[in-house]
Amino acid sequence: MNWYLLKSGPGAAAFNMALDDALLGAVSELGQPVLRFYGWTEPAATFGNLQKISAVESTTALRPLIRRPTGGGVVPHDADWTYSFTVPPDHEWHLLAATESYHRMHAWIQSAFARLTVATEIAPCCLKPVIPNQNPRIPGACFVGHEKFDLLWRGKKVAGSAQRRNKCGLLIQGSVQPPLPINRNDWETAMLEAARNAFGAFWQEMPSCEALQTQTATLLREKYSQDSYNRKR
């Protein structure tokens, strides 16, 4: 099973969201899953595609604040490790229910941490803490409390993700808050080895794709860098 690996390095918040969105649009043509590791050129925060900007602006002081192509809550990107995983529509991951792909993604990360001798657990249920002065009906900070199947370390959430599944494929965007001072390159290597063992993934460096670059630039210019998009609801 050939899978592509894309290490795109640090990028601006709007660019990072544009590239993940472009990968979702391109993955059917690429024909195989793409795992992307990336970082941030400055502290930022992202929030779920369906969230109201008025509900999330007060939950973080981090700026820029960019709407994601996936769902979920507000995610701070000031010290996390971020990745995306995109699969084509004919891949078996695309056929999974959302809860199943969510669980599988975090079990993958759990296996990677285990290779680094860091013991984590999959949350068996959700934990919604009471946050003073916050409307409980408004999705808040993603790493406050946890959802079922989030990844925990000593009861604290250390990995969460959000998804978008359509006819183009499946996009999972994830954030990892490393629980210990672990080398990020070691963790990325462990992720590749865990996927090779669990899914039979044979990793290939993703080739340069002009169409993907063009679409990323278009989405960046016309969508993710636009205040009208990020404040659309």
Residues that are catalytic:
142
Position 181, amino acid: P
> Is 23:164 a contact under the CB 8 Å cutoff?
no
Burial status of residue 90 (CB atoms within 10 A of its CB: 0-12, 13-18, 19 or more)? exposed
Question: b/e map of 5-44 (b: 16 or more CB within 10 Å)?
Answer: bbebeebbbbbbbbbbbbbbbbbbebebbbbbbbebeeeb
Instruction: Tell me the pairing of strands 121-122 and 151-153.
Output: antiparallel
Degrees (nearest 5) of the Cα angle 120, 170, 45? 65
